Amino acid sequence: MSLKIYVNGEFIDKDKAVVSVSDHGFLYGDGTFEGIRAYKGCIFALREHLDRLYESAKTLMIDMPVTIEEMEKIVAETLIINNFEDAYIRLVVSRGAGDLGLDPRKCSRPTLVVIADKIKLYPEEFYQKGLEVITASVRRTPVDSFNGKVKSLNYLNNILARIEANNAGVGEAIMLNHDGYVAECSADNIFLVKNGEILTPAAHLGLLKGITRDSIIKVARSMGITVTETIFTTHDVYNADEVFLTGTGAEVVAVVRADKRIIGNGLPGPMTFSLRENYIKYACSYGYKLSEHIAKYGKKTQSAS
């Protein structure tokens, strides 16, 4: 069966799902998106992801074409029609089709696309052996230029950092803010373990407050681990007992070498393994249940919002 993509109220075969070349998401990166995971029929933290999507759209002054409740149904139906219980979901809202000028007033209505598919960001050996990372020369966009809380379609800042990681032959790149403090990685949030406690960059440093990041903080604290959101530099990264990254695609993955410095004993640490195990358990149980959706609405696919 061909993968079905939700585009502006309809489910369309993947090879026929298109948006206009005049769409300002394509022309200018004008829009917002979310990446969401589903585990065993549970769409993890769906409402938290949608809250962030709608907040981003509000900041960008994009009028969302459906309510949050309608969007929940659309995401669930996208999984159901594709017979997915475990999947990665990409939700994209752009300004919509306009003219070749950048004036958003020329765009009549937003474009809404929901894609569900399989994803595995890192091979399994990375979870067992850990990642090597570098510090990118590209800095995180300053908050007074563009607020990092907005998950926009323009990801060039992060992509340039990822290119540096690719060129160095490593798995990720740490990004600093303009004051030289560690902010995040190109596609992940970063955590340090030191003396049995966890440190992660504070949100005011310009990073994207990841849903997985916030979930890991919640899981760690439920395990009795102290978590502090603070400021630190690469010096602290190099001298940490453990370092790990979190993200929707990556979940929880250890860093064992940073800028050629070995982290800890050069292997994923016990706290990282424990947090990953407990996070997966949490993710499989917390969120929007497809079984409850089907019980309430049936399996009939909605073709329009």
CA dist., res. 34 & res. 90, Å (int): 6
pLDDT of residue 300: 57
Q: Where are the domains of the chain?
A: 4-119, 124-283
Cα–Cα distance measured from residue 180 to residue 72, given in angstroms and rounded to the nearest whole number: 39
268, two tokens: 């994923």
pLDDT tens-digit profile of 51-62? Answer: 999 999 999 999
For residue 37, the tally of other CB atoms under 10 A from its CB is 24
Supply the pLDDT for residue 280. Answer: 94
**Residues 144-194 pLDDT 10s:** 899 989 999 999 999 999 999 999 999 999 999 999 999 999 999 999 999
What is the pTM assigned to this prediction? 0.94
- Which residues belong to the active site? 151
The residues of the chain scoring below 50 in pLDDT are 302-305
Q: What's the pLDDT at 119?
A: 78
Measure the CA angle with vertex 172, ends 87 and 154; round to 5°.
70
Query: How many Å from the N-terminal Cα to the C-terminal Cα in the chain?
Result: 23
Architecture of domain 4-119: 2-Layer Sandwich (3.30)
Residues 243, 190 contacting (CB under 8 angstroms): yes
Could you tell me the fold of the domain covering 124-283? Answer: D-amino Acid Aminotransferase; Chain A, domain 2 (3.20.10)
